[in-house]
Every structure is written in C-alpha cells, then in structure tokens.
C-alpha cells in the first residue's frame, strides 16, 4: 500500500515537473518567436531605409555631376569665343549654393532614418558618408563659382573620389547587415559572451 502511494506521489511529481517544464519551454519559444519577428520587422525597415538612402545619394550625386558637366561645357564654349568663363557675380555663387543644398537636403533626411534604425555597425559608415557628402557640396560650390569662393578644401575630383569610396564602404556595411539572419536573444547573449572572452 505504501509502495503504491509512493509510486503515485512520484508519478504526480513527475507530471507536475513536466507541466512546469512544458510551460517554461513554451514561454521561451513564444518569447524567442516574438524576438525573431521583431528582428525581422526591424530588418525590413532597415533594408528600406538603406535602399532609400543610397537612391537619394545617387540622385543628388547625379544632379551635381550633371551640373558640373553642363557648366564645364558652357565655360569651354565661352573660352572658345574669347569670353572669361569665370566672370561671376554674387548671384551665380548663390545659385551654386542653392543647387547644392537642393540636391543634398533629401540625402540628409534619409541619413537620419538610417541612423535612427542602426545598428551601430552601420552608424560609422553613415556618418562618414555624410561627412564626405558635405565635402562634395563645398567642392561643388568651389567648382561652379571658384572665383567667388576662396574656401580651401578638396577639389571636385578629390571630393568625388572620396564620396565614391564612402558609398562603397556604406554599401558593404549595409550588405553585411542585411544578410545576417535574426538571432534568438539567448543565443545573441551567448555569442557576445564568447566574443568578449576571446577579445579579452
């Protein structure tokens, strides 16, 4: 009789442990699934922001390079007719500033979205690209209104090369981030711990 009771108690404890174990595992699975869904949602938002940022940059860069090419063609025609291509007045300098600002403003807005969504691995490349973009803006004004803008800095060609390098770096950082699959939070903590142990 006592053995039967002991068997019943053990069976009840095993059933109770199984129930609690099932609840804990179920809760963890729900948490992990919610985390993965959030990561996937964030990843999709980042992909959209990254694509919009690069598209805005390409558009701005295209507008500025088209304007520089147009002006260089105009200057060559003026020189061919014995006119001074750099006989600017202040209005030309203001127009150059406005064109540069109109082209670059949308890029700044898209950069803010990228910085908002992160992650940190992207932030450095986005900030570097923003700095190169400002250099490009200044170089554009220097190139298009050189006689009125003694501001020292990189030439148009140097700024274009730096901007292209920054875009390539940004694209590579984005590519790596977008291709990385969402990781379950508990595994992420484990990987971080291993990385710290290896780097420390």
Rg value, the chain, Cα: 30
Local confidence pLDDT in tens for the 200 residues of the chain? 667 777 767 766 666 666 666 656 666 665 566 667 767 888 888 889 989 999 998 998 888 888 888 777 877 777 777 777 666 556 666 777 788 888 888 888 898 988 888 788 888 898 898 899 888 888 887 777 665 555 677 888 899 999 899 999 989 988 888 877 666 554 554 445 545 555 54
Per-position DSSP letters for 101-129, written without gaps between them = HHHHHHHHHHHHHHHHH--HHHHHHHHHH
| Greatest pairwise CA separation for the chain in angstroms | 120
Residue 162 confidence (pLDDT): 92
CATH no. of 39-182:
1.20.120
Q: The pTM is what?
A: 0.65
């Amino acid at each position: 009789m006592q053995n039967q009771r002991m068997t019943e108690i053990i069976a009840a404890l095993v059933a109770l442990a199984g129930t609690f174990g099932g609840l804990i595992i179920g809760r963890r699975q729900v948490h992990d699934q919610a985390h993965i869904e959030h990561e996937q949602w964030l990843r999709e938002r980042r992909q959209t922001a990254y694509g919009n940022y690069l598209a805005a940059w390409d558009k701005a860069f295209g507008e500025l390079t088209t304007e520089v090419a147009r002006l260089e063609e105009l200057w060559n025609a003026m020189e061919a007719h014995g006119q001074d291509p750099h006989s600017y007045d202040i209005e030309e300098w203001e127009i150059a500033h406005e064109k540069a600002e109109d082209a670059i403003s949308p890029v700044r807005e898209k950069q803010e979205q990228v910085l908002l969504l992160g992650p940190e691995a992207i932030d450095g490349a986005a900030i570097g690209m923003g700095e190169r973009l400002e250099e490009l803006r200044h170089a554009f004004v220097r190139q298009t209104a050189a006689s009125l803008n003694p501001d020292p800095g990189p030439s148009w060609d140097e700024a274009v090369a730096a901007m292209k390098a920054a875009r390539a770096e940004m694209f590579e950082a984005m590519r790596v981030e977008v291709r990385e699959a969402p990781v379950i939070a508990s595994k992420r903590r484990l990987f971080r711990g291993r990385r710290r142990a290896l780097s420390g």
